[in-house]
Structure 1
């Protein structure tokens, strides 16, 4: 969604608004900075207020104008329906509309054999990765259907694990496969309301979550190996491309990964 040029003497159109979950670090922060640098207003959601404020400071420096793009920080746990409702209400109150939701918040869970995975750890991963994404998508749907002009875009953060699992990743892998089903359903149900939905499947972006890949991680053959990673900014550029498309066009699924990671041929 690009911002049209403004003729001299006319009021510039408002910047498009994006809401990013898990915006305090990693891919969420990188995407927030890419969007802000392209002139978007950003709503930064996460559980750590200090991390969100740091993202906001970086985002406000990334714009071309003297004040930088607008950034709103909202602490929220996406597994809590009441907090998700408050998050989206705050976004609408500040910016009046929502053009993009980047459903990014997620967790891997402990990398233990399936038989040792505790029920509470399973629930934490499912509640965060799947239920949290659903709750945010539902709130975005409601906002995008009601606003004028109607419509918007949802981009879900999947994973290469939506296609091929790692060892000891049953909860994460199951939720990322489910994310693909969520993306397809949102894409179909959004058609009558000009709501587009796509998914970006990411492999080995360098973040806090993937730190162990750079020191050695379990492979399918039982060995341990260091894996190549890529800069999270490379992911952010792809999300920005998806976000800037007109609503009549959609990247349904995209895979962005470290070129030499053991994904093609994994297993």
Structure 2
């Protein structure tokens, strides 16, 4: 497929809300054509329609990142439509109920691992393959990590394990991608304010068992961090970046 030399194509998973939506809108503003992926088509299409109204290019594709066939269909659509992929923001993720581990139903563990680990792997694997064979070769994969990739919150074994796994995927792809001009980064996020995290503004369990309100950071700061990494030439990379509320209880004793 012949594509304009100026075409830059990005994929954002979990693009219908929160961090994913903010990142998608920012990449659109920076001139990327953005493929919006997520389970629910309606919010994705809303982002795409808004982009079209602004003279930007976006494509909504309903995708279940835990389903290999669904991921394969997503990337087949990207390749057939645009012929290449320059950037992926692996953002889709879920959490599990915050309960003692012996009270956690196994299905919650499996859901988190399937989405946060296998979903990231499937999308990264497909992106790696397309970036490796396209001309010109190369691209950038950015994984949504978490401060939980370094330090857990109470009662978060599934989520913490999943984000430790994402860190391993990131480092492995950063190594394996060198000879193909494929860079891989991870943005570790702490207390970005979204519809899912707003509950933390009313109090969240601390390491000492108390409940405390925590500071939050505007989601746009996360989007700006992704924009910065995306702006780099493939000869430069930010392997890990932490974007967090300055006063949240992460550094130091909890």
Q: TM-score range by the shorter chain?
A: over 0.9
1:236 aligned to which of 200, 223, 234: 223
TM-superposed deviation, 1:60: 3.5
2:158 aligned to which of 171, 190, 212: 171
Q: Secondary structure at the match of 1:13?
A: coil
TM-superposed deviation, 1:53: 1.1
TM-superposed deviation, 1:119: 0.6
Partner of residue 4, structure 1? none
Matched, 1:24 2:16: yes
Alignment: residue pair count = 252
Matched, 1:221 2:201: no
Runs (4 or more) in structure 1 with deviation over 2 Å come to: 11-15, 57-62
Please, which runs of 5 or more residues in structure 1 have no aligned partner? Answer: 1-10, 63-67
2:143 aligned to which of 135, 140, 156: 156
TM-superposed deviation, 1:95: 1.4
> 1:137 and 1:183 mapped to 2: Cα distance?
9
2:195 aligned to which of 195, 208, 211: 208
Matched, 1:47 2:34: no
> 2:62 and 2:4 mapped to 1: Cα distance?
30
TM-superposed deviation, 1:264: 1.0
Partner of residue 252, structure 1? 239
Partner of residue 117, structure 2? 130
CA contact (8 A) 1:164 1:266 kept: no
> 1:105 and 1:187 mapped to 2: Cα distance?
20
Calculate the TM-score normalised by the size of structure 1.
Answer: 0.92
Matched, 1:75 2:67: no
TM-superposed deviation, 1:59: 3.1
Q: Secondary structure at the match of 1:109?
A: coil
Worse overlay, 106-115 or 50-59: 50-59
> 1:86 and 1:133 mapped to 2: Cα distance?
16
Q: Secondary structure at the match of 1:208?
A: coil
Calculate the TM-score normalised by the size of structure 2.
Answer: 0.96
TM-superposed deviation, 1:61: 4.6
Please, which runs of 5 or more residues in structure 2 have no aligned partner? Answer: none
CA contact (8 A) 1:198 1:253 kept: yes
Partner of residue 147, structure 1? 134
Change over 3 Å in CA distance of 1:178–1:12 after alignment to 2: closer
> 2:226 and 2:193 mapped to 1: Cα distance?
16
Matched, 1:37 2:32: no
Matched, 1:103 2:90: yes
